[in-house]
Chains A and B, each alone.
Chain A
Amino acid sequence: MDFSDYKDIYVFAEQRDGEIQPVALELIGKARDLSQVTNEKVVAILAGSGIADKAQTLVAYGADKVIVIDEPELKDYVTEQYTQAVFQAVNAFKPSILMYGATTIGRDLAPRIAARLGTGLTADCTKLTINEETREFEMTRPAFGGNLMATIKCPEHRPQMSTVRPGVMPKATPDFNRKGEIVSFKPKFDASKFVVKLVKTVKAQKAAVDIADAKILVSGGRGVGCKEGFDMLQGLATVLGGEVSSSRAMVDAGVMPHDRQVGQTGKTVRPAVYFALGISGAIQHLAGMEESETIIAVNKDKFAPIFSVADLGIVCDLNKVVPLLTERLKKEQAR
């Protein structure tokens, strides 16, 4: 394999219903950082139907070039259609690096492309760097339920591919005057392979706010215990203009919906303030919130692991602290 044919840092710019997904913009931000080291271009692959006008958004966030694949076959995400389109684009343009969001789409598409290309793929990365000496792409990811981190490379194959957890990489500030090259790519579909048919898409009731976007999160765990406990947390969140989130235990118990779950199997969050209330702090939970700017933990158990990451740890009963704190903050605001 002649590596000199493969260049530039590519991002699969995931869209749903024509909406560019936040993770695509996060990846472009990361690709920009990496491109400073490799001195290459940042290229986005935008696939869908009727989405060509979104290309400029990707440029604004840092893409130097956008490859638009605008085809009716790509209206909704179905594995084979997208695999054919992206695979052909990869073969035509030859990226050195190609990143996807670690979403249900990215995690379905990327391994299919990896196997079709015969290249490596590193899943759910949380850190991406270029080795200054070897110029290799180094992809770091959690393993063993977040207990261990592994740095992985793909030395003998191109493209070097990874999926990246949403919410981990910061987006760049957009510049809507930024200029970029926009090219159209037309794949040749083999419709005989379109075996799986999409019958319908069912949208679940969406949370009003994505917890990954919240500046303040009031998060509850086993110590909160029940629905009424979370109503109390909601009171605190409302006063602070924040959102309520949850540990896995309370989601498994059916008290909170999955879209509010923080952690390894939930969402990665990095709010300005994260209240961990009655959360013991299993490593899987810490994996999803330890990048928060300020962590305030309240737990009755002074040996709870959450205190190992907290900026402020309070050993006390949250059922006493939360109502008092809520009242106090209301008074502060009334001043």
Chain B
Amino acid sequence: MLDVRGLRKVYEGSGRRTEAVRDLTFTVGAGELVCLVGPSGCGKTTLLKCVGGLLAPTAGEVTLAGRKVDGPPPGTAFVFQEYGRSLFPWMRVGANVELPLKQKGLGTSRRRELVADALESVGLADAAGAYPWQLSGGMQQRVAIARALAYEPDVLLMDEPFAAVDAQTRADLEDLVRGLWRERGITVLFVTHDIDEAVYLGERVIVLSSSPTVVQEQLEVDLPLERDQLSTRVAPRFAELRTHVYERIQAAKRGAATRPAGTDAPPPR
């Protein structure tokens, strides 16, 4: 579905050359939920913007369903970390969700249907007439998720979407995303710096090194499909996996030699 091959991104500016991403190769299968986790400042956002066609890579390429990405692809929806700035404050919630659909050229009744359905899915059926800034942070991020859902994407790209909400809201939103993923079969690429979140959410976790970024490890999360905040987070297997990822990231921070990236076996049970 989504193929990232030899991706490299170098920023040039005012005599300074920063290699944010060195060499990234991974694939995401159709309908998979993959979490990208790495130390802070490791170029996760850069990577996601390249995947979403918002940034042009210096080398390498991203292909989506066999087509090379050289601009924002139509079947991709983006959820940003800064929900307050990503939602347009001059539009009511309903209009925010509807705007991308107008661009798609959908008819009024179809648009209304999609908006109502998406807001319903995130539990904000009544909020269509409110302005985003009248809602709490968690609700605003729900609106941003609804906007992405209404767009009916094949691929959902989420850039640390819950980094700015409080812990309880965050847990709710994590369950919301997992629920929507199972319900709608969307391919999700979820970037986070939170190891627990990555393991809890993902079917697979890709661990990135510090900048300049390479893939440090890929890890299948063999937790049951049905997860919940209470039992999953205290399961011994969850603890093993998060410890493993934690160690890998610590190693990455220290700049320890990276193992050749590939399909690593998960740590033995």
The answer on A and B forming one complex is no
Q: Which residues of A contact B (CB under 8 A)?
A: none
Q: Which residues of B contact A (CB under 8 A)?
A: none
